Amino acid sequence: MTSTTIDDAPHIEPSPSTQERRNYLNDEYGVLSWLLTKDHKRIAILYLFSVTIFFFVGGIFAFLMRLELLTPEGDMFTSDTYNKLFTLHGVVMIFFFLIPAIPAVMGNFILPIMLGAKDLAFPKINLASWYIYIIGGTFGIIVIITGGVDTGWTFYTPYSTQFSNTKVFATTLGAFITGFSSILTGLNFLVTIHRMRAPGLTWFRLPLFVWSMYATSVVIMLATPVLAITLVMLMVERVLHVGIFDPALGGDPVLYQHMFWFYSHPAVYIMILPGMAIISECVAAFTRKKVFGYKFVAFSSLAIAFLGFLVWAHHLFVAGISVYAALVFSFLTMLVAVPSAIKVFNWTATMYKASVSWNTPMLYVLGFIGLFTIGGVTGLFLGALGVDVHVHDSYFVVAHFHYIMVGGTIMAYMAGLHYWWPKITGRMYPEWWARLSALLVFVGFNLTFFPQFLVGYVGMPRRYHAYAPEFQVLNVLSTAGATVLAMGYLLPMVYFAWSLKFGRKAGSNPWGAVGLEWATTSPPPKENFHETPVVTWEAYDYPAFLKAMKETQHV
């Protein structure tokens, strides 16, 4: 293979005229042009602001919890307050950050451009999605301000329906409403991917980001409505004091758990698949190589989506299900680990004899691969019945899912944010500050959550306000890590804002990557492309893409 150097690619030097060119940011001005926009790119920016706010709200709750856990006694907050902190941390992070963030920010912005389309299939529904999210989020804020909720984000009955005297109804209503935002986004993505691909863009030429977002959207569409009906029934029980899930009135609390987890397990795949989507793109871009085993990676996204629906009862191993059910679900849980493993191996193999850049997105990618691997294998511990009995509802579980959600999803989110920042804003972020943040995040994360595996196995239960004194050392380490992690997340706020005014201006393809989004200007024009692109290259085919860019002079 000829080693085509990137110098052969047309350099789009940011000339003054290029920068003054109309793009989606300067196309229209005024608050209403943003609040009533139908442009998927502006809607993505609206989401970016909202999810960031909720991320820090949820993060503050977490930090307060970690401060309390510095000492074994519950001496900083009352028990009720602490219980509200961990509940709200979960509710805010899951429903208002992790579920929407990557799809609604990066999916919204990049997906249509990657497909060569002018917008998503239903732009007005896209805007409605954001407003629905804001309404649901407002319920969340109201709950926080007016006293909070203390049931845990899982709302187990009968505590949530008959015993808790906190704002359960308002919280579940907020989550219910936000679910519709998620559903409509998924709907939009599915139809767009099916019907609005550019000429020449066949299914197996699609970027792997699209495959993963497709799988995510399928899960969203099929799982979220089950949460919706479960929450409706919860709300009915709470308001009318009937016994749908309350055994004192004839109901079955384990049925609630089945219905809740039927959504909430696929939900974790809603949270990780988009992260994997970003990682696939960044691996290709920062190794300048086609992802190893493209078809395997594409189909593994679908396999994860499918198998993810079959394992929910592994959350109920000690809850009272039969031994036979436990065996079945343990076995299926082992199966769902396989496609994730395939992805990790394939991303690793992509790096072999590649051209690996050490830019910030790649640092987050390396972090993701390492941390997601640990998170994933600890899932095997939990899927193994004999071990799960001991570690269920302990800090081992807490560590496991934070490795996936934070070490996985949030790392991928940061990778994507840095990767597409020049495309979205037309500016580069400051590389060395960004690398420092990535390092802080990596070190802080491991220091926060690795001790939690240990303290969980030793015997510390989760959702504990006060704990046995011998657990203190590990908790202190964890809180120290949280402090470092917080700095790693605050720094980007500063330098991203700085970059908007002072960052180096970016050309169309500052990374020299393959993909339709790099075939248009940074930032893109409102209609994404001046003329509909025609795709003649295979996925991640660097030489062919670069040649096509030269020939068509795509700007």
Partner 1 sequence: MTDFPLFPEQASSVAPLVDGLYLFLVVVTGAVSLLIWLVIFYFAIKYRRRPDNELAQEQEPPAILEMTWTVLPLLIFIGIFIAGSLVFFRMQAVPSNALEVYATGRQWMWKFQHPTGQREINELHVPVGRAVKITMASEDVIHSLWFPVFRVKADVLPNRYRTLWFEATKTGRFHIFCAEYCGTSHSGMIGSVIVMEPTDYQRWLAGGTEGSLASQGEKLFQKYACDTCHLDNGTGRGPVLAGAYGKTRPIEGGASVVIDDNYIRESILRPQAKIAAGFQPVMPTFQGQVSEEDLIRLMAYVKSLPAPQTAAAPPVESTPIPTPTTTNVVTTTNP
Partner 2 sequence: MSDVTLHHGAEHAAEPHKHGHHHPFLQHHFEDLGQQHEASTLGMWFFVAQEILFFGGAFCAYFVYRAMYHDAWKLGSHHQDWKIGAANTIVLIGSSLTMALAVWGAQGARRKFTTLMLVLTLILGGIFVGVKGYEYSVHIHHGLFPGAQTYTNVESAPELTRGVELFMTFYFTMTGLHALHMVIGAGLLLWFIKRTWRGDFGPEYYGPVEIMGLYWHFVDIVWIFLFPLLYLV
Residues 80-119, interacting with partner 1 (CB under 8 A): 80, 83
Q: Which stretch binds partner 2 (CB under 8 A): 44-52, 98-106, 112-120, 348-356?
A: 112-120
Kindly write out the interface string for residues 335-354 of this chain, putting x where it contacts partner 1 by CB under 8 A and - elsewhere: x-xx--xx-xxx-xx-xxxx
Interface residue with partner 1, options 40, 238, 288, 314 (CB under 8 A)? 288
User: Measured in whole angstroms, how far is the alpha carbon of residue 172 from the centre of its chain?
Assistant: 21
Q: How far is the CB of 199 from partner 1 (least distance, A)?
A: 26
Is residue 396 within 8 A of residue 456, CB to CB? The reply is yes
In three-state secondary structure terms, 156 is: coil
Among 49, 203, 331, 502, which residue interacts with partner 1 (rule: CB under 8 A)? 331
Within 67-86, which residues bind partner 1 (CB under 8 A)?
74, 79-80, 83
Is 544 one of the binding residues for partner 1 (CB under 8 A)?
no
Please report, as residue ranges, which positions from 496 to 535 form the binding site for partner 2 (by CB under 8 A): 532, 534
- Cβ distance 504 to 9 under 8 Å? no
Q: Is 121 in the site for partner 2 (CB under 8 A)?
A: yes
Bridge partner list, 320: none
Residue 452 near partner 1 by CB under 8 A: no
**Nearer to partner 1 among residue 198 and residue 334 (C-beta):** 334
Write the burial class of residue 235 (CB in 10 Å: 0-12 exposed, 13-18 middle, 19+ buried).
middle
469 counts as binding partner 2 under rule CB under 8 A: no
Q: Distance of CA 124 to CAs 38, 167, 221, 288, 413, Å?
A: 6, 32, 19, 37, 26
Please pick, from the candidates 238, 427, 465, 526, the single residue that binds partner 1 as defined by CB under 8 A.
Answer: 465
Can you read off the two tokens belonging to residue 29? 């001005």
Among 55, 133, 471, 511, binds partner 1 (CB under 8 A): 471
134 binds partner 1 (CB under 8 A): no
Amino acid at 367: G
Compose the 379-398 pattern: x for residues touching partner 1 by CB under 8 A, - for all others: -xx-xxxxxxxx-xxx----
| Residue of the chain from 197, 238, 288, 402 that contacts partner 2 (CB under 8 A) | 197
Give which of partner 2, partner 1, none residue 356 binds (C-beta under 5 to 8 Å, depending on kind). Answer: partner 1
Contact letters for partner 2, residues 245-284 (x by CB under 8 A): ----xxxx--x---x--x----------------------
CA–CA separation, 267 vs 227, rounded Å?
10
Q: Which residue has the tokens 């309404």?
A: 135
SS (H, E, C) 456-495: HHHCCECCCCCCCHHHHHHHHHHHHHHHHHHHHHHHHHHH
Closest residue by Cα to residue 309 from 235, 219, 408: 219
- Using the rule CB under 8 A, is 118 a contact of partner 2? yes
Give which of 183, 84, 209, 61 is closest to 128, Cα–Cα.
183
Does position 145 interact with partner 1 (CB under 8 A)? The reply is: no
Q: What are phi and psi of 394, to 5 degrees?
A: -115, 180
Q: Is 238 in the site for partner 2 (CB under 8 A)?
A: no
Could you say which residues in the range 173-192 bind partner 2, by CB under 8 A? Answer: 183, 187-188, 190-192
- Tell me how far CA of residue 261 lies from CA of 83, 258, 266, in angstroms: 21, 5, 8
Query: Which residue's entry shows tokens 């979220």?
Result: 224
Which amino acid appears at position 484 of this protein? V
Nearer to partner 1 by Cβ, of 179 and 339: the residue is 339
**Which residues does residue 505 pair with via DSSP β-bridges, in sequence order?**
427
The reply on whether position 164 binds partner 1 by CB under 8 A is yes
The residue ranges that bind partner 2 (CB under 8 A) are 117-123, 183, 187-188, 190-192, 194-203, 221-226, 228-230, 232-233, 236, 239-244, 249-252, 255, 259, 262, 532, 534
